[in-house]
Amino acid sequence: MPTSRQFQRIRFILGDQLNLNHSWFNSIDPGTLYVLAEMQSELLYTRHHIQKITAFFLAMETFASQLSADGHSVLYLTLDDTVSDANLNELLARLTEQFNAGVIEFQRPDEFRLFQHLRNLDTPAKMIKEFDTEHFLVPFEQLGKHFKEGKAARLEAFYRRLRKQFNILMEMGAPTGGQWNYDSSNRKRLKKTDISSLPNPKTFHNDAAQVLERLNRHEIPYIGKETNIIQLPINRQQSLELLDFFCTHCLKMFGDFQDAMTQSSEHAWSLYHSRLSFSLNTKMLHPKEVVDRAINEFEKRNDIDISQIEGFVRQVLGWREYIRGIYWMNMPNYSKTNFLKANRNLPTYFWDGQTQMNCISRTVNQSLETAYAHHIQRLMVTGEFALLAGIEPTQVDEWYLGIYADAVEWVQKPNTRGMSQYADGGLVASKPYAASGNYINKMSDYCRDCSYNVKSRSDEDSCPFNSLYWHFIDRHRSLLEDNARLKMAYVSWDRFDEATRSQTLTRAHHCIENLESL
């Protein structure tokens, strides 16, 4: 570790900037010191899943070792080394003096908080320079062409523009297969035979004992299951192996079972999902290489339907880039949005999984166990419950930001506040993702083993999602009635007789008053 040499330049790399293909690393400059640092301040602003923290630190350490092996000068600082630095500014000021560096360089952070922090550095360095992360398909400077602050922007138009611009799944100017979107064929439920043929998820066995010892010694608060073995990919090689596994074994069913959930298999937590979000969000993988690899698999085989590959491309090329645009065009005000004026506290079972609602218990326990849940578990189980129960969005944000290994604010926040909680009043979603227990029953086998009855609305044991759904529709009438996509819900509610409406609302009030003990 270079502690006494002088360096002209310090290049600071954040934990989610582990992009080995960045142009910074094209040549070796003896005057440049690369710094990666474990910082307490990054661990304390919310409670993170222990596997998330450990995976980030392991990935950072491995990245530093790789740069070093490639011949770069690298300083990796552990929590022990940064214990006296209150924040990044203090750390960088100290290092600038220590190495007599005249220039500090960093890649533009994807998170607003760090972006502001690094743009306002106060250090003895004469020059501070910002670089692009060279990660996203849409350059930062061009986001304004697609998104405007406070204006709704729909995924579909943006996604089609990107398909054309990058010539992805296009033939002679038209979408491959003749359709832009195969969403409607991506909603299959898993039957018994489907469940028995689920792939055995590829996981890794990364030793985390030393990092864990450090975290515990520094008494870092955390949530989730502590384990010495991290099964997430922690370097580019493992990330590429996971991508390969996904393309070989999961892509052919990805679209079909994208929205499905089950409790009836030990592979239920992974299904046909890629679990590439950690590799993508740490930038160990580039989104274009992920899309190209998947399309290459689709083209070389004849057992992958267009609906499967299109479903996957829509997530990576479409949703991921779109969500980033929404974030940057609307921050920092986006953090304060609360269109539905939700103000209840997040129930304790979000932190310990102790609830009789089987769908919530399964999803939360899986998340505590693995730091992962797939999209529909996040959106239509935990997210939907929080929406129906009227949980204050900042508390919902904190939960999602802490619990998932892939959670970084630029992607977590618009998914949570926008898509899931409708707190942005419709910038992301054209209507709230509100549904009764019937949706969960249709897409999963959770209800089979639940203490509540999914078929009932107002009995003592009726599924809380059912009455809360109608309560949601009823209580937000003035805000939502004019939404064309909710018209049928209001027509149905008004068609119920007075007694049914009253019993349903009584049951909903009971659920709300007893939210903690459901």
Contacts to ligand FAD by CB under 6 A: 273-277, 280-281, 315-316, 319-320, 323, 374-375, 378-379, 383, 400, 404, 406-407, 411-412, 415-416, 419-420
280 binds, among ligand FAD, ligand SF4, none (CB under 5 to 8 A by kind): ligand FAD
Contact between 470 and ligand SF4 by CB under 6 A: the answer reads: no
First to last CA, the chain: 54
Contact between 347 and ligand SF4 by CB under 6 A: the answer reads: no
383 binds, among ligand FAD, ligand SF4, none (CB under 5 to 8 A by kind): ligand FAD
Residues near 486 by Cβ (< 8 Å), separated by ≥ 6? 431, 432, 473, 480
- In this complex, which beta carbon is closest to ligand FAD, that of residue 11 or of residue 47? 47
The site map against ligand SF4 for 348-387 (x = CB under 6 A) is ---------xxx----------------------------
273 binds, among ligand SF4, ligand FAD, none (CB under 5 to 8 A by kind): ligand FAD
- In this complex, which beta carbon is closest to ligand SF4, that of residue 333 or of residue 348? 348
Residues near 144 by Cβ (< 8 Å), separated by ≥ 6? 329
Cα 363 to Cα 263: distance, rounded to the nearest angstrom? 10
446 binds, among ligand SF4, ligand FAD, none (CB under 5 to 8 A by kind): ligand SF4
Residues near 323 by Cβ (< 8 Å), separated by ≥ 6? 410, 411, 414, 415, 428
440 binds, among ligand FAD, ligand SF4, none (CB under 5 to 8 A by kind): ligand SF4
Cis bond before residue 175 (omega within 30° of 0): no
> How near is the Cβ of 408 to ligand FAD at its closest, in Å?
6
Cα 419 to Cα 431: distance, rounded to the nearest angstrom? 9
Element (H or E) spanning 306, and its range? helix 306-313
> How near is the Cβ of 361 to ligand SF4 at its closest, in Å?
8
- In this complex, which beta carbon is closest to ligand FAD, that of residue 275 or of residue 471? 275
Burial status of residue 482 (CB atoms within 10 A of its CB: 0-12, 13-18, 19 or more) = exposed
> How near is the Cβ of 369 to ligand FAD at its closest, in Å?
15
Given candidates 76, 99, 404, 465, which one binds ligand SF4 under the rule CB under 6 A?
465
Q: How many chain residues touch ligand SF4 (CB under 6 A)? A: 14
* Residues within window 21-80 making contact with ligand SF4, judged by CB under 6 A: none
CA 497 to chain centre: 42
> How near is the Cβ of 466 to ligand SF4 at its closest, in Å?
7
Within 10 A of 209 (CB to CB), how many other CB atoms are there? 11
To 5 degrees, how large is the angle CA 258–CA 255–CA 184? Answer: 90
Given candidates 450, 480, 486, 511, which one binds ligand SF4 under the rule CB under 6 A?
450
- In this complex, which beta carbon is closest to ligand SF4, that of residue 317 or of residue 440? 440
Burial status of residue 38 (CB atoms within 10 A of its CB: 0-12, 13-18, 19 or more) = buried
> How near is the Cβ of 385 to ligand SF4 at its closest, in Å?
8
Cα 357 to Cα 345: distance, rounded to the nearest angstrom? 18
- In this complex, which beta carbon is closest to ligand FAD, that of residue 392 or of residue 406? 406
Contact between 454 and ligand SF4 by CB under 6 A: the answer reads: yes
- In this complex, which beta carbon is closest to ligand FAD, that of residue 275 or of residue 507? 275
C-beta separation of 370 from 404 below 8 A: no
- For residue 321, which of 144, 112, 159, 151 has the smallest C-alpha distance? 159
C-beta separation of 134 from 19 below 8 A: yes
Cα 62 to Cα 56: distance, rounded to the nearest angstrom? 10
- In this complex, which beta carbon is closest to ligand FAD, that of residue 274 or of residue 441? 274
* Residues within window 405-444 making contact with ligand SF4, judged by CB under 6 A: 437, 440-441
Q: What is the DSSP letter of 391?
A: B
C-beta separation of 338 from 501 below 8 A: no
Please name every residue paired with 229 in a beta bridge, in sequence order, or none if there are none. Answer: 207
- In this complex, which beta carbon is closest to ligand SF4, that of residue 164 or of residue 448? 448
Which residues contribute to the site for ligand SF4 (CB under 6 A)?
357-359, 437, 440-441, 446-447, 450, 452, 454, 463-465
